[in-house]
Amino acid sequence: MSTYPETARPLAELQPQCAFFVGVDSDGCAFDTMEIKHKECFCPNTIKWWDLQPVSKYAREAVEFVNLYSKWRGINRWPALVMVFDLLAERPEVIARHVKITEAKKLREFIAQKEFPLSNDGLKKYMAAHPAPELQTAWNWTTGVNATIEEMVHGVPPFPYLRESMEQMKGRADMVVVSATPTEALNREWQEHDIAQYARVIAGQELGTKKQHLALAARGKYTADHILMIGDAPGDLDAARGNDALFFPVNPGAEEKSWERFYREALPRFFAGTYKGAYEATLIAEFEKLLPDTPPWKR
């Protein structure tokens, strides 16, 4: 029996064509899409489907903190949603308005189980075995988010220096998109801007977690210091560390500068074998200062 989802076979069966491997996150890393997706797509659907109209101001602050401005930036949508509920349930202003925030018991059970991936397809299969009104609401929410993204998010180009970096890596590194975004949206965005050509696999949430993506595609197939993950969130760093891989941070708020730094400085070091050590540690230290774990209304 395989130890990975059948959907992840393209990663598991990937064979090296180059000596180096580079995983690249998409939202907020390759594309400046994090803000528009969470502010204009996730947040309105969260307020709509989870009856948060009476506390919409606080719901928006919680959604934006979890998904954009905290150390949880970039995590899977389901744990992020539950975290939003928890922040709202304990916030004094919400309690004072006597607004009931869902405890999300069935949703937490879905998140805790290991049989199905935390994706739309995974939820659909889980619902077949564990039907519940709350999970139907969750389905309405997640499909609503995806529909809004498809309608709203287009014409957002990759960050400057990403294309130049990929051109520089072409023929020297096997590149894979490593993301928690639905694969359909990834394919659409990468093809729209003609950069899908650089990726050997475009891996979204249906293929597992980012840590699983790297484990299947790269671990044991390349020398450890020849594996690099590029990302804009602590979860990307965790995925790299969980696979003994190197990490390059695209700093939130300074993405263009980060990609220029990668192209001009970090990528040559990676290929030359001088990236690991003090240089990488300095980049990560800068990155970790940017994303707090305490929301501003608690400080």
What are the 10-residue block averages of pLDDT along the chain, 299 residues in total? 72 97 96 94 98 98 96 92 98 96 98 92 96 98 96 94 98 96 92 97 92 96 97 95 97 96 98 98 96 92
What residue ranges define each of the domains in the chain, with the CATH number in brackets?
6-33+159-288 (3.40.50.1000), 34-152 (no CATH)
Q: Which of 143, 117, 114, 136 is nearest to 8 (CA)?
A: 117
173: three-class secondary structure by DSSP: strand
Q: What pLDDT was estimated at residue 283?
A: 98
Question: CA angle, 47 as apex, 46 and 50 as ends, to 5°?
Answer: 70
Are 33 and 153 a contacting pair, CB within 8 Å? yes
Burial class, 46, CB count within 10 angstroms (exposed 0-12 / middle 13-18 / buried 19+): buried
Contacts of 223 (CB under 8 A, 6+ apart): 19
Q: How far apart are CA 192 and CA 154, in angstroms?
A: 8
Residue for token digits 């969130």? 233
Contacts of 25 (CB under 8 A, 6+ apart): 74, 177, 178, 179, 210, 229, 230, 231, 232, 233, 236, 250
Are 168 and 267 a contacting pair, CB within 8 Å? yes
Are 256 and 160 a contacting pair, CB within 8 Å? yes
Q: What pLDDT was estimated at residue 27?
A: 92
Q: What pLDDT was estimated at residue 3?
A: 63
Instruction: Kindly state the percentage of the chain with pLDDT values over 70.
Output: 99
Q: What pLDDT, in 10s, does the model give residues 204-233?
A: 988 989 999 999 999 999 999 999 999 999
Residue for token digits 């307020």? 47
Q: How far apart are CA 138 and CA 148, in angstroms?
A: 15
Strands (E), the chain: 20-24, 173-178, 201-203, 227-231, 246-249
Q: How far apart are CA 106 and CA 273, in angstroms?
A: 48
Q: How far apart are CA 13 and CA 209, in angstroms?
A: 17
Q: How far apart are CA 214 and CA 240, in angstroms?
A: 7
Q: What pLDDT was estimated at residue 1?
A: 30
